A and B are shown apart, each in its own frame.
Chain A
Amino acid sequence: MRQPTDSTAETTAADGGFRWPVRQFSLDNGLRVVVCEDRTGPIAGVNLWYDVGSRHEPAGKHGFAHLFEHLMFQGSAQVGKTEHFSVLQEVGGSAINATTSADRTNYYQTVPSAALPTALWLEADRMGSLALTQENLDNQREVVKNERRQRYDNVPYGRWAEILLALAYPEGHPYHHSTIGSMAELDSAEQSDFTAFYESYYSPDNAVLTVVGDADDAQVRRFAEEYFGGLSARPRPEPAAVAALPAAIDGPVHEVIEEPVPLPRFFFGFRATRFGEPGAAAEEVLAAVLGRGRGARLFTELVTKRELAQAEGSYLASWQLAWYESLLSGMVTPRPGVDAAELHAAYFEVCERAAVDAPTEAELDRARSMLEADWARELSSVGARADQLSRHAVLFGDAERVRDRLPELLAVTAEDVRAAAERIFTPGNRVTLEYRPVEVSVDSEGN
């Protein structure tokens, strides 16, 4: 068979695939600021990472970090309720949103560069003076409950990740609970919970502000001083001590869920290396070699060759959790008439064989090309580039570490991948969640 010719395989320059300048400084109140000038378009991406996520939630208050994120859009001293978006839109801003994960909460928007002061003012106003009212709490609690219904409760398999986390991490571990939280605990949320949360974590010295695009560091420094300079750092509670987990899950764990899903399906969880630790990059490449795309081993073996599994885009993925032991997750669906147990065994057979058969040069090249192009796509918008800079500044204390990201992935060798498979795919280090379809029960209590 003919392979496409590729005369320009050498596409990663000495800059590690990140070709822009990065400037960093801190304000007296501890706010760290990252600036990445890029004059390609008349726009600027503004991103804030707060170093707080659902991992900080105490027992009984799961889902509060995410509900708090919603409250951040409900107004502050100089911004009325429901005005947050309109203030940005009035100056041409879009791509406005925020997300909460176990590890962190990020807030972002992209604006015409002429409106950069407005975006920074708005972020500073809510960092310094959020309107934590009962009305806002009541309304956003309902919105979040509908988000939970839409994403988790009203879709087949919607709760898989939540169940997997609970099985893969012990009770009391910061990653044991899902970020969305439970309906009952959200119902119990009181205003005072959020005042305390705000004062503890939404302090300038617990955040990184990144501006990418049509602005230079002198401008951004001036604006940052003007809008954030009057905010004071606030004390935070010491993070609870979390004991390191063993290298492997104490398994294998196999949980069967009987629900009215359309098809049987397996989800898997494997304990993995923290993002940024030695070995984590090899596990990302392993996930790509085995589990991602049409040329992945799990696809060619289980779908094309043995016709056991349904075609999917991804069979194995790296979660890149950064504070404690991370997770690889997998999924696979039997084709009609295929014995689920046979597929289950075949999936692990392919995985375990990777501990013996290191990837070939062609397999490694495919994975590297995908990861390299992903990185170029990721960095092509100012908003996503700002998010990566904030991420590296928060996790490693230095935004410049963003330049190491792609080289670390590309430096992974075939032997590194094999060793990662040997580490991950031990018989005990696995959680299996097996969905078995049952008939729809006509019971519409609808909670």
Chain B
Amino acid sequence: MTSPRLASRPAPAAQRPYVFPEVRRLALSGGEVVAAHLPGQPLAWLGVMLGGGALAEPAPAAEALALDGLSRATASLLDEGTEHYTADEFGAAVESLGGHWGVDSGWQSTKVTIDLPVSRAAAGVSLLAEAVRRPAFRDVDTRRFLSDLTSAKREQFARPGVRAQQALRNALYGERTRYGRLAGGTPESAAVLDGAAVRAFHEQWLRGPGVLLVAGDLDVLDLEALAAAVFADAATENPHTPDAEAPLPDPKRLTIADRPGAVQSTLRIGHPAATRTELTAAGVDIVALRVASTILGGSFSSRLNKELREVKGYTYGAHSSFDLGRPQGLYAMTTEVQTDSTAPAVADALRIIHEFFDDGATPAELELTRAYLAGATPIGLQSPGAVGSRLIEMVRHGLPGDYVTAEHARLLEVTLDDVDTALRAVLRPSDLVVAVEGDESVFGTELAKAVREA
């Protein structure tokens, strides 16, 4: 093989500035509209953000099973038959527009979205309105859907990951509180849901006007007509979902979901955190925290991925991040490691997190991460759906329409001190709880020792 003539590395060049699309906030037809203008974009994303969420689910009567997952099931049943469409007809109607239907139900809100060619937006929003305002919840559909949901949950729980997540939530918040369990419920809780509970939940929580979110070419989209369609037939109030209970004051440090025979262990290591709004009020620099989080576990070059994957070969990937959503935030590290590396991987992860907290970021890490995040903003916002997810953040946290642009600019100014200060205000390495789903018979003793000695 003749030796190649290799060019030398090009000098770096400055990135061009980035500006988030123009955002319009309007009050139309008795509701609130938040819209991002994407000129020339052939696709549009439309969403309605309603209340509800898992924390709105009713508390069970004494001795009865809790109806965990009711909020998500109700949201998913909105398009399974409506006043004017059977379930099959509705699905076919969405697909005949080239639409992708999306449902996302979190702790305190419910989002229903459709992503489709902009030329079909009017028809799409009619379907959105039909599902949100006129769901039928016919017995034949709820029974079929809930039976499928129970089976789907059984399958989900047979896959690695969800039981580790469940163990972490149980440990942090206690399994007797709603927030200490999974938002989507379990196979057992899915099995006790029924049509009456779904109808009651919808009546109480999902009839408010909500907020209409639009990401698309506003020169083509008629916001007034879209709003008129979505807000017709809405109740006048947006009900307020209660907040979560406080975390347990002294959680156990290690919890294991046993999975005999598993060839990998799923790790979830985390602790509760404040929300974005609370942190901002307390003077924490959210952008600096994002830089810190990315250095620790937010990209391929992060400390956690580099050590656990590229140096040790324990895993296909390791990540960690701060979720600063409502009603409470969470720091969580996640990875899947081969079973016999479980204890060393946990020890390494805890050590890396502690070291990062103690020593802070390096200048090289800061420089790399600032550039990476700055570049990632426009790259990550190419689709209307991605822009739409920023609109959801705006509404959830009461952020201004130019917050993405402002944070992008702020990135370039963040200093090492900013990064270390923000991290130390939020990360608490000694409060970390380790949840592992895997074959306890292989790693149990060694893991307990690793956590004790961390």
B is a partner of A:
yes
Query: In the complex, are the beta carbons of B155 and A117 less than 8 A apart?
Result: no
- A150 in complex: contacting residue of B2, B264, B369, B441, CB < 8 Å: B264
A residues less than 8 Å from B86 (CB atoms): 1
Asked if A444 lies at the interface with its beta carbon under 8 angstroms from chain B, I say yes
Write the chain B residue with the least CB distance to A142.
B313
Asked if B14 lies at the interface with its beta carbon under 8 angstroms from chain A, I say yes
A residues less than 8 Å from B442 (CB atoms): 444, 446
Contact bitstring B369-394, A, C-beta under 8 A = 1, else 0: 10110111011101100000000000
Contact bitstring B267-306, A, C-beta under 8 A = 1, else 0: 0000000000000000000000000000000011100001
Asked if A188 lies at the interface with its beta carbon under 8 angstroms from chain B, I say no
Near A by CB (< 8 A), chain B positions 119-175 give: 119-120, 122-124, 126-127, 144-145, 147-148, 151-152, 154-155, 157-160
A residues less than 8 Å from B116 (CB atoms): 373
- B95 in complex: contacting residue of A146, A229, A304, A366, CB < 8 Å: A366
Asked if B98 lies at the interface with its beta carbon under 8 angstroms from chain A, I say yes
**A94/B380 contact (C-beta < 8 A), A146-B314, A199-B1, A335-B148 known:** yes
Q: How far is the CB of B110 from chain A (nearest CB, A)?
A: 20
A residues less than 8 Å from B96 (CB atoms): 4, 6, 295, 362, 365-366, 369
A residues less than 8 Å from B85 (CB atoms): 1-2
B residues less than 8 Å from A446 (CB atoms): 261-263, 338-340, 439, 442
Query: In the complex, are the beta carbons of A114 and B15 less than 8 A apart?
Result: yes
Asked if B336 lies at the interface with its beta carbon under 8 angstroms from chain A, I say yes
Query: In the complex, are the beta carbons of B261 and A112 less than 8 A apart?
Result: no
**A307/B144 contact (C-beta < 8 A), A362-B96, A380-B382, A444-B441 known:** yes
CA gap between A17 and B291 in the complex, in Å = 39
Q: How far is the CB of B13 from chain A (nearest CB, A)?
A: 4
Write the chain A residue with the least CB distance to B98.
A373
CA gap between A4 and B51 in the complex, in Å = 27
Query: In the complex, are the beta carbons of B371 and A90 less than 8 A apart?
Result: yes
Write the chain B residue with the least CB distance to A145.
B338
Contact bitstring B1-33, A, C-beta under 8 A = 1, else 0: 110111111101111101000000000000000
CA gap between A372 and B120 in the complex, in Å = 13
Query: In the complex, are the beta carbons of B95 and A447 less than 8 A apart?
Result: no
Q: How far is the CB of A220 from chain B (nearest CB, A)?
A: 14
Query: In the complex, are the beta carbons of A294 and B94 less than 8 A apart?
Result: yes
A residues less than 8 Å from B337 (CB atoms): 146
CA gap between A150 and B265 in the complex, in Å = 9
CA gap between A296 and B96 in the complex, in Å = 11
Near B by CB (< 8 A), chain A positions 285-317 give: 293-295, 299-300, 303-304, 307, 310-311
**A304/B144 contact (C-beta < 8 A), A93-B372, A447-B263 known:** yes
Query: In the complex, are the beta carbons of A91 and B117 less than 8 A apart?
Result: no
B residues less than 8 Å from A43 (CB atoms): 375, 378-379, 382
CA gap between A34 and B43 in the complex, in Å = 25
Asked if A346 lies at the interface with its beta carbon under 8 angstroms from chain B, I say no
Q: How far is the CB of B342 from chain A (nearest CB, A)?
A: 10
Query: In the complex, are the beta carbons of B6 and A124 less than 8 A apart?
Result: yes
Near B by CB (< 8 A), chain A positions 350-404 give: 362, 365-366, 369-370, 372-374, 376-377, 380-382
Write the chain A residue with the least CB distance to B149.
A311
Q: How far is the CB of B352 from chain A (nearest CB, A)?
A: 15
Write the chain A residue with the least CB distance to B79.
A294
Write the chain A residue with the least CB distance to B116.
A373
Near B by CB (< 8 A), chain A positions 121-176 give: 121, 124-125, 128-129, 138-143, 145-147, 149-150, 153-156
- B89 in complex: contacting residue of A1, A261, A374, CB < 8 Å: A1
Query: In the complex, are the beta carbons of B12 and A91 less than 8 A apart?
Result: yes
Q: How far is the CB of A145 from chain B (nearest CB, A)?
A: 7
Query: In the complex, are the beta carbons of B300 and A2 less than 8 A apart?
Result: no
CA gap between A154 and B310 in the complex, in Å = 21
Query: In the complex, are the beta carbons of A115 and B15 less than 8 A apart?
Result: yes
Asked if B97 lies at the interface with its beta carbon under 8 angstroms from chain A, I say yes
Query: In the complex, are the beta carbons of A304 and B263 less than 8 A apart?
Result: no
**A380/B43 contact (C-beta < 8 A), A95-B379, A304-B88 known:** yes
Query: In the complex, are the beta carbons of B16 and A112 less than 8 A apart?
Result: yes
Query: In the complex, are the beta carbons of B154 and A263 less than 8 A apart?
Result: yes
Write the chain B residue with the least CB distance to A442.
B260
Known: A11-B119, A90-B12. 5 other contacts (CB 8 A): A115-B15, A115-B375, A146-B314, A150-B336, A294-B95
Q: List 18 A-B contacts (CB under 8 A).
A: A1-B89, A2-B84, A2-B85, A4-B123, A89-B371, A112-B15, A118-B9, A124-B7, A149-B264, A229-B5, A230-B7, A294-B91, A303-B144, A443-B261, A444-B260, A444-B262, A446-B261, A446-B339
Q: 7 shortest A-B CB distances, which residue pairs? A: A92-B375, A294-B91, A373-B98, A230-B5, A295-B92, A142-B313, A128-B4
> Chain B interface (Cβ within 8 Å of chain A)?
1-2, 4-10, 12-16, 18, 40-43, 84-100, 115-117, 119-120, 122-124, 126-127, 144-145, 147-148, 151-152, 154-155, 157-160, 260-264, 299-301, 306, 309-311, 313-316, 336-340, 367-369, 371-372, 374-376, 378-380, 382-383, 439, 441-442
